[in-house]
Structure formats: structure tokens, C-alpha cells
Structure 1
Amino acid sequence: MATTNVVWHEHKTTKSSRAAALDQAPKVLWLTGLSGSGKSTLAGLLEQKLAAEGKHTYLLDGDNVRHGLCGDLGFADKDRVENIRRISEVSKLFVDAGLIVLTAFISPFKADRSYCRNLVEQGEFVEIFVDTPIDICEQRDPKGLYKKARAGDIKDFTGIDSNYEAPEAPEVHLEWKDESAEETAERLYALLVDNGLLG
């Protein structure tokens, strides 16, 4: 149910002044892809690269937020939608703080990713599709989730019995097959810089 009798309070310190103080353009770098595609690994390596350059960042990881902010949610479609809604709102707050926020979430539904895009200003949302074939994701299977899903022990698993709606026009389409994580992260960084996506 929507909150009523609440009015947004405009503060004197603004997003632009915070960003200017940090000397950076606030962004949401939204990594999406199947489980095991390498989103979290790449997000972590990219954040290290940005931090080494003096950028002010924060990384929101799918598993980590389910220990607190989204700890009350399951994995049914309605829970996945609510999970991404909460992350989108948190991402908006980080952008308002002037930060570069990186997110690593399967975020399987186009509408949910669009929800976050529409919360921030044009150019502040960068969708990064980590396009790793499902057979490679299954070979990696770092948490043993695909094996459990194939055995029927996990229901509503994206790519197995729950749909993944691949981005149609992401700012970055990153195919990852044979390269190392470090090589792929360097390629991702180069794509962001070459396309002016870091501001």
C-alpha cells in the first residue's frame, strides 16, 4: 500500500553539490546476467579499479543484501520483483549521495531493470549485460545451485524453471567465455571509458 500524508523534503545540499565535492559523475552500473555468469566477480574487480583511481563507490551484491535489507524475501517471481524494487530505491539514494554504485543481481525481468533506470536521471543508469552461456554458468556453478535446480531441490531457478529476459539494448553487452575474470574486467572498464559511460 502506498504511503500517504508524506511530502518529499528538499534539502539545501544537492546531488550536484555532493558529486562536485567528490569530483565524479554519480552512476548506477547495473550488472545483470544468469547465476554463475560472473556478475559479482566482475563488479568487485571493477570497483577495485575505480577505487584505485580515487572514485567513491559502493557495491550492492545479490547475496549480501539478502542477509539484511531483503532477508525477508524468497525467490518466487513476486519476491524477485520486490527485491529489485528495494535495490533500485537504494541505488537511487547512493546516486543522490554522489556515488558510483555497482550492482550485481540476476534481475531477470526487463520491467524491473527499467524501474531502476527511470528512478535516476538520463545517463545515470548503465545496464551491463554479462552474457555468459548457460552451459558455462553450469560448469562454473560456484554455489552448486544449478545441480540442485536440475535435481528439483530448488524451485523458480532462473534459466532452469524461471525465465530470464535478456536486455535488448544494454549500454554494454559483455560476452564472457574463455577469458580470465581479470581480462574481462579490464575489457569492461575499457568499454565504459571508450563509450563515455563513466562521465
Structure 2
Amino acid sequence: MSQMTMQKLKKGKTIWLMGLSGAGKSTIAQCLIEKLRATQQICFGLDGDQLRAGLNRNLGFSEQDRSENLRRAAELCKLLNHDGITVVAAFITPLEKDRALLKSIIGAEDFFEIHIATPLEVCEQRDVKGLYQKARLGLIENFTGITASYEVPQSPFLTINTVGLDVDQCAIQILNKIFI
């Protein structure tokens, strides 16, 4: 990245990757973090699964708990951004009302909503944990895309369909759209 690009990175931003389970959010987030760190950008990865294993372990998957999970994540992003840290967040983020809340907490100028628009059938094929199969068998309640709704973002900053793209290509598309 050029010196001019580096100047743009001095202020903390939140790059929020959203999409179905198995869409590639976490994998793309890791690649983005590596690329940002290669430019000496201070960044932090925030993953929905990791947050639920610790800070948000008291939350379930009801609509109210999902919203609270996302609200807490947005508050953390806002704090980190304030200190000049770019956050790459990977969360399913299924509802438009929650996306609006995220933007209002973090601030529209610092929030980049990236929809990882991988088709459901591809997500199911990638599902190494067998979550989709369990949801289809009724063993998991409130599973986004099967028994809980996923509202496709109407106006994200960027939409990426991962079919036919490798992780590096997805990360480069995001960086080029935000920083160039």
C-alpha cells in the first residue's frame, strides 16, 4: 500500500464482515488482518464465536440475545477505533435493525459493512461442524438461514460472493474498496 493509503489507516475503522455460517467471514477476516498488519496498521480481530466463548458466554441465540451480543461487540469496536485500532469483525449479523444499531454505535464514517454473500447451499457444503445438518434435523434451534431468518443487507458498503474467489482475492477486494 502506498504512503497515501497508510495515512488513511491512521484513524481506527471497523470492517464488519457479515453473512451466513460457513460463508467465509472468519477466514477472510484473518487474511485482512494479515494484510493490514503487513502495512504496520494496528488491528484487532473480533470473531462472533470467540466473543461468545468468553465475554458473551452468558448469551443464547434468541433474537434479544443476538442483538445484545452484537451491541456489546459494537461498543468494543468503538473503543478500539477511538484509540486508532482498526477492527476486523466477523459476525453473522442477520437483522437489519441490528446493523443499523452497529452503525449508530460505531459511527457511519468508521463502519464498513461487508456482506459475504455466499449462497446457502455452498455454506452447507463447507459446514465442517455439521451445524446445518443438525439444524435441519431440529437439533439446533434458531439457526440462521434454516430456522431463524437472515435479512439480506439492502445497502452494504460492499457485497462479495465468495464462489469462484479465493480468500486472498476477497480480502484484496475489501481493502481496495475501503482504502484506495
Per the alignment, residue 135 of structure 2 pairs with 149
Q: Contact 1:30–1:102 (CA<8 Å) still a contact in 2?
A: yes
Residue of structure 1 aligned with 2:150, choices 148, 164, 170: 164
Deviations 1:43-66 (A, max 9, x none): 110010000100000010011011
Q: What are the within-5 Å matches in structure 2 for residues 10-21 of structure 1?
A: none
Larger radius of gyration: 1
> Which structure carries more helix by proportion?
2
Give 1:30's aligned amino acid.
Answer: W
Give the superposition deviation at 1:170: 0.7
Q: Which runs of 5+ in 1 are unaligned?
A: 1-22, 195-199
Cα distance in 1 for residues equivalent to 2:74 and 2:93: 11
The structure 1 residue matched to 2:164, chosen from 159, 178, 181, is: 178
State the distance in 1 between where 2:133 and 2:173 align.
30
Q: Please give the secondary structure, in 1, of the residue aligned with 2:55.
A: coil
Question: How far apart, CA to CA, are the structure 2 residues paired with 1:83 and 1:119?
Answer: 13
Cα distance in structure 2, aligned partners of 1:193 and 1:86: 27
2:20 matched residue in structure 1 = 34
Q: Does residue 190 of structure 1 match 2:154?
A: no
Q: Would you say how many aligned residue pairs link Structure 1 and Structure 2?
A: 172
* 31-40 or 107-116, larger mean C-alpha shift: 107-116
* 2:114 is aligned with 1:125: no
RMSD (Å) for aligned C-alpha atoms: 1.2
Q: Quick one: distance in 2 between partners of 1:184 and 1:108?
A: 21
1:74 matched to 2:60? The reply is: yes
Between the two proteins, what is the percent identity of the paired residues?
41
Deviations 1:25-79 (A, max 9, x none): 2111111100000000001100100001000000100110111110011111111
Give unmatched runs, 5+ long, in structure 2: 1-8
Residue 172 of structure 1 contacts residue 192 of structure 1 at CA under 8 Å; is this kept in 2?
no
Matched, 1:139 2:139: no
* 1:43 lines up with 2:29 in the alignment: yes
Match of 1:109 in 2: 95
Give the equivalent residue in structure 1 for 2:83: 97
TM-aligned CA deviation for residue 182 of structure 1? 2.2
Cα distance in 2 for partners of 1:119, 1:86 equals: 10
Corresponding residue for residue 4 of structure 2: none
d(CA) in 1 for partners of 2:171 and 2:84?
Answer: 23
Shift of 1:121: 3.3
Aligned residue for 1:184, secondary structure, equals helix
CA displacement at 1:116 relative to structure 2: 1.5
CA shift digits 1:123-179 (9 cap, x unpaired): 111100000000000010122111111111101000001001111111111111122
